[in-house]
Amino acid sequence: MPKYEMHKKYLYKAPGRQIDKIEYSGIVDWDGLYALISNFFISRRYIFTETSNKFKADKIGYHYEIEMEAWRKVTNYFKYWQKLYIRIWEKELVEVIKEGQKKKMYRMRFFIEFMPALETDYQKRFEKSELGEKFRDWIEKYLLKREIEFRHWDSLYYETIALRNEIKNYLNIQV
């Protein structure tokens, strides 16, 4: 599990919806998979960054932990976040003959965890006073509740599912 949490105070995360993780063991073109993930976000106007890339050794071997995040401003009040946590074990370089040519790929085990989040009031307009914060809470609870749940959260949720399905298709896992 990732050791970090979004530091934003007002963030909506998966209300009643579990975004599953992908677990995979086999031969992977890692560069192609990484390009697929980054191109997915860039094509949807997200700002994409790899926030952490760690190599760790422990008693049973070594593993990599990669954290990626992408965000997009949707309106002056809403911002979409997509976080991915990838953990890789038993990574070893292998040569595979693909379409008559030798290609370097990796045999590995990994899982990818998807963590979408919807940030509200990302410009901090209402945080100047305690009254402003209470007013923001009231607006989000009563006036914007339907818009948050049905317009923004659903859109974010289906983008996450689309990314998951593209990765599964790339890895030839049944969707």
Domain residue ranges of the chain, discontinuous segments joined by +: 11-170
When pLDDT is cut at 50, 70 and 90, the band that residue 12 belongs to is low
Mean pLDDT (the chain, rounded): 86
- In what helix (H) or strand (E) does residue 138 lie, and over which residues does it extend? helix 130-138
Residues 12 and 116: their CA atoms lie apart, in Å, by 9
pLDDT digits (tens, 9 = 90+) for 77-97: 899 999 999 999 988 999 988
| pLDDT at residue 127 in the model | 84
When pLDDT is cut at 50, 70 and 90, the band that residue 99 belongs to is confident
pLDDT digits (tens, 9 = 90+) for 133-152: 898 889 888 888 888 888 88
Q: How far is CA 117 from the centre of its chain?
A: 9
Closest CA to 53 of 11, 14, 95, 88: 88
Question: Model-level pTM?
Answer: 0.83
